[in-house]
Amino acid sequence: MLEVEGLEVSYRGNCAVDGISLSIAAGEVVALIGANGAGKSSVLKALMGLVPAASKRLDLDGSPIAGLPTRRRIQGGLALSPEGRAVFPRMSVDENLSLGRPGGGHEEDRNAIRRMFPRLSERATQAAGTLSGGEQQMLAIGRALMARPRLLLLDEPTLGLAPVIVQEIGRIIDEVRAAGTAVLVAEQNALAALGWANRAYVLTNGSVTMQGDAADLIDNEEVRRAYLGV
Ligand SMILES: Nc1ncnc2c1ncn2[C@@H]1O[C@H](COP(=O)(O)OP(=O)(O)OP(=O)(O)O)[C@@H](O)[C@H]1O
Ligand SMILES: [Mg+2]
């Protein structure tokens, strides 16, 4: 579904992503794990066309998307739930959801998202800025799902959230995958992300240093020492 080769992102000459390659097939949940500043968010933003990037190959379903504006990439099946959630605090939950899908005709999708996130449903008219951190994270994911993506990009969904909410996010990722949407999740919380994913890439200083089945990486000595704190 997504094929990336030699992706590079630099900020004013400073290299943040140093020519990485990755691929995601339909139906997969893939984790991108790495420490602060490893380049995870830069990868996701580059896939969405939110930062300038260079690549040898950037194909979605076999068609090149490099150079397409973000709007066209969303139409092509990508959607991002950004790091830090970025909900619009004065707008209601429902209004934030609608922003995920400009152009109307989305009532049915909003109902589907309400079923997936009962807590959002109960708070449909509440200002998004008054939601708890966990609820705001659900809203950011729900807003991305409003675009009906075939590949959902999640940037650091567990950031600052309690273990019980982290579990809830895992349940949502399972549901999203079961509905036929692939997921690429960037996480510092390697233990959680490797638990959700079938495959993973480890990003270190802008390069992929390890990759493989999530179950194998959980058992990998180096991963355990560097990212799992065990
Ligand atoms: N807009 C920007 N301008 C300049 N440098 C940036 C910008 N965004 C990111 N960087 C730099 O690029 C590098 C990678 O940052 P990035 O946010 O992609 O990492 P990350 O893996 O998502 O980190 P974290 O886990 O803290 O979110 C860092 O050194 C960061 O300082
Ligand atoms: Mg980040």
pLDDT tens digits, 62-91:
999 999 999 999 999 999 999 998 999 999
pTM of the complete model: 0.95
Cβ contacts of 102 within 8 Å, gap of 6 or more: none
Instruction: Determine the Cα–Cα distance for residues 187 and 178; give it in Å rounded to an integer.
Output: 21
Contact call for residues 102 and 122 (beta carbons, < 8 A): no
- Ligand 2 center–CA 119 separation, angstroms: 26
Tokens of 25: 């097939």
Confidence of residue 229 (pLDDT cuts 50, 70, 90): low
Provide the pLDDT for residue 107: 80
| Mean pLDDT in residue range 35-55 | 96
* Atom from ligand 1 closest to the CA of residue 206: 14
Instruction: Determine the Cα–Cα distance for residues 105 and 187; give it in Å rounded to an integer.
Output: 33
H or E element: which one contains 32? Answer: strand 29-33
Provide the pLDDT for residue 100: 87
Provide the pLDDT for residue 92: 95
Positive or negative torsion for Cα 129, 130, 134, 136: negative
Residue type, 1: M
| Mean pLDDT in residue range 213-219 | 93
Polymer length in residues for the chain: 230
Q: Ligand 1 within 6 A of 42 CB?
A: yes
Question: What own/partner pairs with CB < 8 Å and gap ≥ 24 does 57-63 have?
Answer: 57/3, 57/4, 57/5, 57/6, 58/3, 58/4, 58/5, 58/7, 59/2, 59/3, 59/4, 60/1, 60/2, 60/151, 61/1
* CATH class, range 2-228: alpha beta
Mutate to test the pocket of ligand 1, among 7, 42, 45, 153 (most ligand atoms within 8 A of CB): 42
